[in-house]
Amino acid sequence: MESKSFVGVVKLDLSLRMVDGMDCTVASRFYGPGWCGGEPFFVAGDPNNPTAEEDDGYLVTYVHNENVGESKFLVMDAKSPMLDIVAVVKLPCWTPCGFHGIFLSESDLNKL
């Protein structure tokens, strides 16, 4: 049976497709059997650095294991070819697959 959940995330460089017509996948992370993820979100490593590369930062998402009912918050290195996990937080309650989040800087939050 094919899963309708997000079972991983891939990073694409669309400029590669334009140059040689090849696969533009430059990084990927699959969550593993039973795990599904929410919508990934990019968090800049230093949002105030205008010279930072576009992937200087972290990819964050919620994941849930449908087999054991465990949920985690993952932080991945956005520059890594395997989107290496740099931090994991076990969540105290179930977080559904496809859960959406929003992340704001302190200055943006203060504007609300």
Binding residues: 100
Residue in the structure block whose two tokens are 């937080």: 89
Q: Within 10 Å of residue 49's Cβ, how many Cβ atoms?
A: 10
The answer for residues whose C-beta is within 8 angstroms of residue 19's C-beta and 6 or more apart is none
Question: Known binding site for Fe cation: residues?
Answer: 100
